[in-house]
A and B are shown apart, each in its own frame.
Chain A
Amino acid sequence: AQKITQTQPGMFVQEKEAVTLDCTYDTSDPSYGLFWYKQPSSGEMIFLIYQGSYDQQNATEGRYSLNFQKARKSANLVISASQLGDSAMYFCAMRDNYGQNFVFGPGTRLSVLP
């Protein structure tokens, strides 16, 4: 069975600094996809970034990048130059080989300090 682990329940970062949110996963599928979502205090779920298991390069989307280490089964989210609006819950998620199963981790609450 697939599982996502996010070991940091809460993180603090100073405004304009970079922060890394950890995500490790467990799967026996040869092909899978990894996602990060942001949930601000307003409650909506916002897609941030995607990494396919066969992608050769780490995914990047603006200030977000995904540090994908396949052998270690980790998919950490890096946010560069943190902004106050980055304060939110962040969820790591994974879909399986056939795309049927889509599981989420417990989330990390990021607080950006002025």
Chain B
Amino acid sequence: NAGVTQTPKFQVLKTGQSMTLQCAQDMNHEYMSWYRQDPGMGLRLIHYSVGAGITDQGEVPNGYNVSRSTTEDFPLRLLSAAPSQTSVYFCASRRQQYYGYTFGSGTRLTVV
């Protein structure tokens, strides 16, 4: 049972480049979310999904897009990378709305 798988683990982008962070879970969880972690600020919600075909914005959605075409996958797209998007990104999933999250191992992104 792989849980939540994130790729890549590390990435360096130049300002203005775009890329997609991949996230897949094999637990048949309904809820999936993307968080970013910055020093001293905990984890802040970027986007979340309550099921295939349904997504919504979180606290810090600007500059990011998501889609959820299947239950398993929830990719995060950076449209035009900016240095302010340098962060550690976590994908997480949970079975239903009242459960806690299972996290992926994170992606450390640096934008230069």
Contact = CB atoms under 8 A, between A and B. Distances in A.
B43 A91 contact: yes
B90 interface: yes
Interface size class of B (residues with CB under 8 A): 20 to 34
Q: Is the interface of B mostly helix, strand, loop or mixed?
A: strand
Contact of A106 (B31, B40, B88, B99): B40
B108 to A, nearest CB: 8
Interface stretch (A11-19, A66-74, A79-87, A95-103): A95-103
A44 B101 CA distance: 12
Interface string B91-106: 0100011111111011
A43 B88 contact: yes
Interface in B21-41: 31, 33, 35, 40-41
Interface of A: 4, 9, 33, 35, 37, 43-45, 47, 50, 91, 93, 95, 98-100, 102-107
